Chains A and B, each alone.
Chain A
C-alpha cells in the first residue's frame, strides 16, 4: 500500500485545511496530531487548532461533546491554522452540526455514515438525516460507512466489536492519509509504539488504518488524491512542536544556560498543566517539580526556591493568576527572579477552560495592590514560546524581578514546524551570586547595581551574607524595615525604574510592511499569524499597511511611541475587549482603534482583513 499505486495522477495543491471532528471519545485530537506529525515530517509547513470541550466525556453524541482538530498544511510558509476547512471529517451528526457553519460552499465533507442513525441524529437535533435530505447540496459530501468497515477489518483479530469500533478514528486517518498521499509506515510504527503491550488494540488500530487507506484506493468514491509538496521554508532543521512543549524546552534551556536548577511549583489547570507534566519528566536535567496544594502555595514555593538560589517557576492560567497576585507582589518587593507563566483562557471565573483568549493583559499589568510593576512578555507563536520562555528567565535573573509570561490556549495546544536553534548558539544567562560583604564589611541586601538597579542575590549557605528580607517596606540599601515617607517613595520609584531599564535591553520595534502605510496594525501574542495573513492579502491588493507585533508588553520598547505616531491610523486586533488598545491610548495619546473578538477562538485572518479594508477605504 504505497501511495504510488493510486491510479489517477494526484492533483497538486498549495495548501489545504482539514478539520477532524467527532465525539470527545472518538480520538479526534489523537487523529489530528498524528496527521500533523506525518505532514511535518513530510516537510509541509503547518499550523494546528485543537478545540475540545471542558468536560472529559460530555454525553456521547451531543453537540456539547464535540471535539475537533484543524490542521492547515501547505507547500509554502503559512501563518495560521486556516480560517475555514476545505475538508471536514465528521464522525457523527453532532460533529457535522457543530462545524457546518464554518464550512464554505464547495468544500468536502467526509461523514461516518454509520453514525447517522436515528438516535445520534436526534441527539444532534436533526429531524431528518442531513446526508439524505439535500441540505448539504452546496458541499461535496462523501458518506463512508467507517464503523462497518472498521468492524469488518477487525473481525479476524478476535477484538470485541465494542473495542473494534473505537478504532474508527484510525480508519478516518487512513483514508485521509491516502487522500493526501501521506506516508503510512510512520503511522504504523507509531501505533505499534503507542499501544505497546496492548496487542489487540495495536492490531485493531493498524487494521482500521490500513482499511481506511485501502478504502480510498478501491472505493472509487474519490476520483483522485491530492499532493502537497514540502514547503520551501527557511533553510535549517525542523521539528514539529506545540506551545506548551516549546515553553517547557525554553525553560530547561534557560536553566542549562544559566546553571540555575528549576523548581517548578504549580497547581493543575487547563490549558497550562501540560507544562508541569512535561517538566516533571525531565528530572535528569535537575528539574524539580512540585504539585502544590493550590496556586498560592505554588508561587510561594517558587519564591522560596528563588530565595534559595534556584530558578523559581510557576505555571498557571487566569484563575490561578488571580490567586497568585498577593505573592507576586511579595516577589516584586523581595526583588527576586521568578517566572509566572499565564496560559490565558476565556474568563471571567471558570469561563472557557479549554478555549483561548487574551484577556489577562490588564491583570498582568495591574492585577496587584500598590505600585507593583513587573516585566510582561508575550509569546506570539507555538514555537515562539521557546524564545519567550528563555527571554523571560534572562530578564528575571538579570533584573531580579518576577516576570509574567503570557501565552494562551491557542499557542499552548497549537503546533507548527519549529526551526530549532543549534544548542551551541544559545546565549549564556549570566548569574552573579553575591559572595562578599558589599558595604564596609557588612552585607546590604538592597544595595543596587548602578546599571540595572538589580539588588545582590545572596543565597543561604553563603557565610557572612546572612540577611532578612520581607514584604514590609524596607530601606533602600540596608533592607531594614523602614516606614519613612521619603524612603517609600524612593523605593516605589526605584522598583519602577528598575523594570523600565529592561528597555535598554530589548529590541526596538520591528515594523513589517509599508513605511508610508495609512494604517498600522498593532498586535500582541497569538494574533501574530492571523494579522500577517491578513496583511499579505491586503497588501496583495495594493493597499499600504504596516504591522507591529509587541512581545514586551511592559515595559514597551522605548521607540514604540515614535513608531505609532508615524501612522495616521492604528488598528489593534485582540481577543479581549480592547486591553492593549487602551494601554496604547493611555501611554501615547494615539487613536488606537480596537478590533475585538471574544469567542474562545482565534481571529480568522479574513475578519482582520475586512477591518483593514474598511479602515483603509
Chain B
C-alpha cells in the first residue's frame, strides 16, 4: 500500500471534530481533554484522514467518536493491541490510543505493557480518574487503599498501581503526566508525546465529578498548584513552590525527595534529564508522590530513543525482499520434491 499523502493543509479545530453529540456528564474532565486534543490537532500538521484513534471501553474510551478522524472503539482493555495491528499493517498512519485506568491498567494491563516494551509508534493517553466511571463507580487499580465504593463498602484492600512507575518498568521510551485543569500543559505534553518516535505514554489526571469528584483537588486547586505541582523541565533544576523555594534532590540511595533549597543549596537540586537511558531517576521521580496528595511531578519524565517496532517489521520485509526478491508464489508452491503423473 502506498504511503499516505502527508502534505500539510491549513486546517482548524473544526476539521478534526466530528458531528457527534458529546455524551459525557456535564463537568466531566474528559471534555477539557477532548478540547485540548481537538484544538492541538491543526498544530500537529497531520491530515485527519491519516489519523486513527483507538480506544477500549469506558467513559474516556468514547473519545474517538468525537474526532473527525478514523476511529475504532474496540473492546475493554484491548486498544493497545488493536492499535498495534493498525501500526504494523500501516506504519504510515498516525495512531493514538485512548484508555482509562480500568481499561488500560486492569483488564488491558497486559496489552499496555507489551505495546510499551515493543515500542510501537503510538500516542497513548491514559485518562486516570482513579475510578470505574462507565460502570458507575467501582474502585479501580489506581484508587487509593481503603476506598469506599459500591463494590467495596468496607473499603478497598488492593494496593494501587502507580501508572508511571508501571510504564517505566515496562520499558516505555516516553513517559509523561499532565492533568485536565491545564489545557496549555496538556497540549505541550501531547505535542511532545506525538513527536516521540515509539510508544509515548501520557497519564492524565482526570476528574470524574460524578463518582470520584475531587480526587486530585489537593494538588490541582488553583491556589495549591504552585506548591503541589512539580513541573519537570528538561535541563533545568527541579524546583517548585509558590516562591520556588523547594526542590527535588537525590539522597544517598538515589531516591528523589523534596528539600528546601535554602537548606541544601541550589547546586544540590536535581537537574532534570529526560534522555537518561537508565530509568532509575525517572522511576524515582515517578514515586516522589505516592498519591496525588503531596507534591507531584508533571511533565515529561522520560524520553529516550529505541528502534520503533513497526519500522523494524518493515525493515525485515525489505531485507527479505532484497535477499530473495519479491515473493514468487509458483516457486513457493512448487518447492521441494515434485513428481509428475502422466
Contact = CB atoms under 8 A, between A and B. Distances in A.
Contacts, number: 230
B29 to A, nearest CB: 21
B318 to A, nearest CB: 9
A284 B339 contact: no
Contact of B82 (A301, A326, A420): A301
Nearest to A236: B341
B75 A288 contact: no
B75 A310 contact: no
Interface in A248-284: 249, 252-253, 256, 261, 263, 265, 282-284
Contacts of A230: 341
B86 A460 contact: yes
A25 interface: no
Nearest to A472: B73
B35 interface: no
Interface stretch (A35-43, A95-103, A349-357): A35-43
Nearest to A290: B88
Contact of B88 (A37, A305, A469): A305
A372 interface: no
A468 B18 contact: yes
B70 A466 contact: yes
Nearest to B316: A283
Contacts of A303: 72, 74, 82, 85
Interface in B319-342: 319-321, 323-327, 329-330, 332-342
A396 B312 CA distance: 29
A423 B338 CA distance: 15
A304 B50 contact: no
Contact of B89 (A236, A308, A329, A426): A308
Interface in A273-315: 282-288, 290, 292-294, 296-298, 300-310, 312
Contacts of A298: 81
B1 interface: yes
B4 interface: yes
Interface stretch (A124-132, A237-245, A522-530, A536-544): A237-245
A363 interface: no
B321 A284 contact: yes
B320 A283 contact: yes
Interface in A10-44: 37, 40-43
Contact of B81 (A42, A297, A306, A481): A297
Contact of A466 (B49, B85, B110): B49
B33 to A, nearest CB: 17
A219 to B, nearest CB: 30
25 contacts: A37-B336, A40-B339, A41-B337, A235-B341, A239-B333, A239-B339, A252-B332, A261-B1, A265-B88, A284-B324, A284-B327, A285-B326, A288-B313, A290-B84, A290-B313, A297-B114, A304-B85, A307-B85, A309-B1, A327-B75, A426-B329, A460-B52, A465-B49, A468-B18, A472-B73
Interface of B: 1, 4-5, 18, 20, 47-54, 57, 64-65, 67-75, 78, 81-90, 92-93, 110-111, 114, 313, 316-317, 319-321, 323-327, 329-330, 332-342
The 4 A-B pairs of least Cβ separation, nearest first, read A304-B85, A470-B73, A285-B327, A301-B85
